Chains A and B, each alone.
Chain A
Amino acid sequence: MHGPSQQPLIPLANTPMRYGIVAQTFHWIIVALVMLQFVLGIWAHALPISLERLILLARHKSIGFTIFGLVVLRLGWRLYSPPPPQPLVPHPVFRMAARLSHMLLYALLLSMPVIGWLLSSASNLTVSWFGLFSLPNLVRPDRRLAHWLLFTHQSMAWLLLAVVILHISAALWHHIILRDDVLLRMLPFTRSGSRTRNLP
């Protein structure tokens, strides 16, 4: 076992003990951006047609594409630098749940921007990425399709929220109840290996 003193710095890449700086940075930047997406999306949704709504949604769309790009890079990095092995859990079903929920999180983070893009195209609103370049429209304007896509985008948002709440609960369960390293190994400025009890 590595003692805390042997790991003064968090490595760039993942180790068998913990997530490295790159994976952690991806995780927490995306967390912040996803939270912002909820604020912008719900705020804009509540507004009538207005300049404020236009600006909020423009930001929402640009940030949504940023998330898409970051998740692609993140998955590339994950292939190059595999995450630490799954911790011991009271029952194999939790392992499955963790794997499934992570897959679902990635799937939602990749598909929501695409649905949003389709939604904008179907609404006759071309999307610009922070005013720097425009993305091609994916479909022709179609009111009924737009209606259905908005419903899909909203449903996916609530599903994402539910999975994230489950995900946070699991992280806290590991930290508080199982008293293992799982939360610490995703946090900067902490020393992994200090709680070795439940590690394989």
Chain B
Amino acid sequence: MNRLVILCLFGLVAACNAQFAAASCWVPVPALSRIVFSTTQAGAPFQGTFHDYSGLVCMAAGGDSHIRVSVNTASVDTQLPELDTALRGPDFFDTRRWPQALFESEAVRPMGQGRYRVTGKLTLRDVTHEVNVPFTFTPMTDGNARLKGELSLERLDYHIGLGQWADTRWVGNQVELTFSIVVQPAAGK
């Protein structure tokens, strides 16, 4: 398997893709991808996105799959510049102290028909919790693949929203993270 990864890194893309049974590693193409968070403000739905992230997705038929995603929290975008500034500040992501949010998988279980379930550690600020994320991994005809899924979490578990913002009546605690990430073969430019 490791040899295949190395082959991939050397750019033998076709071999990687054809050999889907073995591990094939992929990296996100942010321009074609979306990571959206949805919650509520004052009882109404509210959404924002993250623009900047990197990661490595290695899919293998055996138990060797591995996913690692790192999100640059300063890239948060709610289309409200003042709010984005507040979200980068100490009460929310505190991007100066913790510039990255990290997801690191521990186990990826295939569920059949391109569906998977990954368990892993999600770290926001300095808080880490285990999460369980179902997703689909769909190879596309252009040689890329799409990762799609959704994760539900409670922001206060991760200390997102301190002080006045701990209020959950006006700022929802429940946050839905939806991702649709196009990945291309690693080092396959």
* Chain A interface residues (CB < 8 Å from chain B): 48-52, 54-55, 57-58, 61, 123-128, 130-132, 134, 141, 143
Inter-chain contact B86/A58, CB cutoff 8 Å: no
Inter-chain contact A49/B170, CB cutoff 8 Å: no
> What is the bound-complex CA distance between A30 and B20, given in angstroms?
68
Known contacts A124-B78, A134-B44; A51/B170 CB under 8 A: yes
- What are the interface flags for B150-167 relative to A under an 8 Å C-beta threshold, 1 for contact and 0 otherwise? 000000000000001101
Inter-chain contact B81/A49, CB cutoff 8 Å: no
16 chain-A/chain-B pairs, Cβ below 8 angstroms? A49-B85, A50-B164, A51-B164, A51-B171, A58-B42, A58-B170, A124-B46, A124-B78, A124-B79, A124-B80, A125-B46, A126-B45, A128-B42, A128-B43, A130-B43, A141-B79
Inter-chain contact B81/A143, CB cutoff 8 Å: yes
Tell me which of B42, B43, B79, B86 contacts A123 (CB under 8 A): B79
Which A residues touch B41, using CB under 8 A? Answer: 54, 125
Look across to chain B and name the residue whose beta carbon is closest to the beta carbon of A57.
B42
> What is the bound-complex CA distance between A106 and B43, given in angstroms?
29
Q: Is residue B142 contacting chain A, with contact meaning CB distance below 8 A? A: no
Among B41, B47, B165, residue most surrounded by chain A Cβ atoms (within 10 Å): B41
Tell me which of B44, B46, B78, B165 contacts A51 (CB under 8 A): B165
> What is the bound-complex CA distance between A49 and B47, given in angstroms?
17
Inter-chain contact A134/B45, CB cutoff 8 Å: yes
* Chain B interface residues (CB < 8 Å from chain A): 41-47, 78-83, 85-86, 164-165, 167, 170-171
Among B45, B79, B81, B170, residue most surrounded by chain A Cβ atoms (within 10 Å): B79
Inter-chain contact A131/B43, CB cutoff 8 Å: yes
| SS class, residues of chain A in contact with chain B | loop
Q: Given A52-B164, A134-B44, output 11 extra A-B contacts at Cβ < 8 Å.
A: A49-B83, A50-B164, A61-B42, A123-B79, A124-B79, A124-B80, A125-B41, A128-B42, A128-B43, A128-B44, A131-B42
Inter-chain contact A126/B46, CB cutoff 8 Å: yes
Which A residues touch B165, using CB under 8 A? Answer: 51
Which B residues touch A130, using CB under 8 A? Answer: 43
Tell me which of A54, A131, A132, A143 contacts B171 (CB under 8 A): A54
Which A residues touch B78, using CB under 8 A? Answer: 124
Please give me the 3 A-B residue pairs with the lowest Cβ-Cβ distance, nearest first: A131-B43, A58-B42, A126-B44
Which A residues touch B47, using CB under 8 A? Answer: 124
Which B residues touch A131, using CB under 8 A? Answer: 42-43
Known contacts A58-B42, A125-B41, A134-B43; A51/B167 CB under 8 A: yes
Known contacts A51-B164, A125-B80; A58/B43 CB under 8 A: yes
Which A residues touch B79, using CB under 8 A? Answer: 123-124, 141, 143
Inter-chain contact A55/B44, CB cutoff 8 Å: no
Q: How far is the CB of B67 from chain A (nearest CB, A)?
A: 30
Look across to chain B and name the residue whose beta carbon is closest to the beta carbon of A55.
B170
Among B41, B42, B47, residue most surrounded by chain A Cβ atoms (within 10 Å): B42
Which A residues touch B83, using CB under 8 A? Answer: 49
Inter-chain contact B46/A54, CB cutoff 8 Å: no
Q: How far is the CB of B186 from chain A (nearest CB, A)?
A: 34
Q: How far is the CB of A29 from chain B (nearest CB, A)?
A: 23
Tell me which of A49, A132, A134 contacts B82 (CB under 8 A): A49
> What is the bound-complex CA distance between A123 and B47, given in angstroms?
12
Look across to chain A and name the residue whose beta carbon is closest to the beta carbon of B40.
A128
Which B residues touch A123, using CB under 8 A? Answer: 79-80
